[in-house]
Amino acid sequence: MRLSTIDIGTNSVKLLVADVEDNQIKNVLVDLPVITRLGQDVNKTGELLPEAMTRTLDIIGDFKNKAKALGVVDMSAVATSAMRDAKNNNTFIQMVAEKTGINLRIISGEEEAELTFLGVCSDPEFMDRSLILVDVGGGSTEFVIGRNGIIEDRFSINIGCVRLTEEYIKSDPIDPMDLQKAIQKSISMLYPRLSAIFSDMRDLIGIGGTITSLSAVYQYMEGYSNIEIHKFILTKEQIVRLLTHLRRMTLDERRNVQGLDPERADVIVAGTVIFSTIMEILKSQEIIVNKRGLRYGVLIKEAIEKQGYYKI
């Protein structure tokens, strides 16, 4: 069964097209992210900007065509933090339906965390582990604690790389005082919930564009001959070093960093702050990068339920 899903986040839109058999992903044909910044200024205005909706809608239409060309029969689409927060989210849902026929569904932070965990555990290597899963998005960060493929706790915190950047990163290159304000905000948002988590004997897993970008940047910077993102291990020391390195650059310089999407250059420092703060609070020395996430979980859940797809 060839299925497809679109994950519409605050910062990026992701397309996954894969063959599913016995509720397992057997063959990934397309796993494509495009940065559209749907959540631009949502934190300030409380609404999706017309230009942000237009550019995101264009990509969704393009993704639908790509999936259809690959023989996809069933397609689902979910939206996360920016759509949860925007007062005019129904306007965008209607735009997507009218242009593409796709029924876009807004999911809660808890459901996002649950589906992300399901996506990570679709890789058999992580199914039998004790995990703390962290997905830093543009508008929120999802956490899941689980063991042997079973969720023990899940929650979402309204801090993300786009939200933190828009609120605190005002200088170029980034002023140390701006960086300190972003760090203090991260601590104040994350510490109350994370300080009670017992992280010993659990693997810390990182999901999303920030951590995959940091993995690529680090490997290029260190001169690795083969760049591998999925399952790459970054240490806390390496992440702090990357934070210092990227903070000192101008935005234009960050746009030219090998391994970093130029469209992510403005939010990568804030995203790195969030990950470094999480590792400090949890006293974790390593984080395992995982390329699977929400879109994989949505695909598996929809395959199991066999309902809710838009028939192309």
Tens digits of residue pLDDT in 222-248: 999 889 999 999 999 999 999 999 999
The first and second tokens of residue 194, run together, are 């994370």
Give residue 213's pLDDT.
97
Give residue 308's pLDDT.
47
Per CATH, the number for 2-109+294-311 is 3.30.420.40
- Under the banding of pLDDT at 50, 70 and 90, the label for residue 153 is very high
Q: What stretch(es) of the chain map to CATH 3.30.420.40? A: 2-109+294-311
Tens digits of residue pLDDT in 49-91: 999 999 999 999 999 999 999 999 778 999 998 999 999 999 9
- Under the banding of pLDDT at 50, 70 and 90, the label for residue 289 is very high
Q: Please give the average per-residue pLDDT across 189-197, as a whole number.
A: 95
Q: What stretch(es) of the chain map to CATH 3.30.420.150? A: 124-289
pTM for this structure? 0.90
CATH fold label, 124-289:
Nucleotidyltransferase; domain 5 (3.30.420)
Percent over 90 (pLDDT), the chain = 83
- Under the banding of pLDDT at 50, 70 and 90, the label for residue 306 is low
Q: How far is CA 178 from the centre of its chain?
A: 24
